[in-house]
């Protein structure tokens, strides 16, 4: 299944289907982006990252796409499994004084059997 629109709080997909989670980032000067996965009651866990000089990066079952023109980031998860159920956050390094990461609101991915 695909997400409908940006900032969708919940995305429900069938086990085995592909899922796409979208994120709009805020700062055109951001040069580094990360997707984190957060399971209930746990801390965020790194999934994949991408730098601004790339538009696509692939990992194991995951792909991140970066569109700098419209400041859009997406995470594609192939052949979803029950263990993929979690909240997914995109984060950007906006630079400036924080020198850390600014997180988006998150999308709750639910995998249905």
Partner 1 sequence: NAGVMQNPRHLVRRRGQEARLRCSPMKGHSHVYWYRQLPEEGLKFMVYLQKENIIDESGMPKERFSAEFPKEGPSILRIQQVVRGDSAAYFCASSPGTGRTGELFFGEGSRLTVL
- Where does this chain bind partner 1 (CB under 8 A)? 31-32, 34, 36, 42-46, 49, 89, 93, 95, 97-106
Provide the minimum distance between the beta carbon of 113 and partner 1 in the complex, in angstroms, as a whole number.
24
Query: With contact defined as beta carbons under 8 Å apart, do 65 and 56 qualify?
Result: yes
d(CA 109, CA 57): 21
Residue whose CB is less far from partner 1, 60 or 113? 60
d(CA 40, CA 83): 12
Residue whose CB is less far from partner 1, 90 or 111? 90
Provide the minimum distance between the beta carbon of 100 and partner 1 in the complex, in angstroms, as a whole number.
4
Write the Ramachandran bin of 41: left for phi over 0, alpha for psi from -120 to 50, otherwise beta: left
Residue whose CB is less far from partner 1, 77 or 90? 90
Residue whose CB is less far from partner 1, 9 or 113? 9
The sign one gets for the Cα dihedral 52, 38, 15, 4 is: negative
Provide the minimum distance between the beta carbon of 16 and partner 1 in the complex, in angstroms, as a whole number.
28
């Amino acid at each position: 299944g695909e997400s409908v629109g940006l900032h969708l709080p919940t995305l429900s997909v069938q086990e085995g289907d592909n899922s796409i989670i979208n994120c709009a980032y805020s700062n055109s000067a951001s040069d580094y982006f990360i997707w984190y996965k957060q399971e209930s009651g746990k801390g965020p866990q790194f999934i994949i990252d991408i730098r601004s000089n790339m538009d696509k990066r692939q990992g194991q079952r995951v792909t991140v796409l970066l569109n700098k023109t419209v400041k859009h980031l997406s995470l594609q998860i192939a052949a979803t499994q029950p263990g993929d159920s979690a909240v997914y956050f995109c984060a950007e390094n906006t630079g400036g004084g924080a020198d850390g990461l600014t997180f988006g609101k998150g999308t709750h991915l639910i995998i249905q059997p």
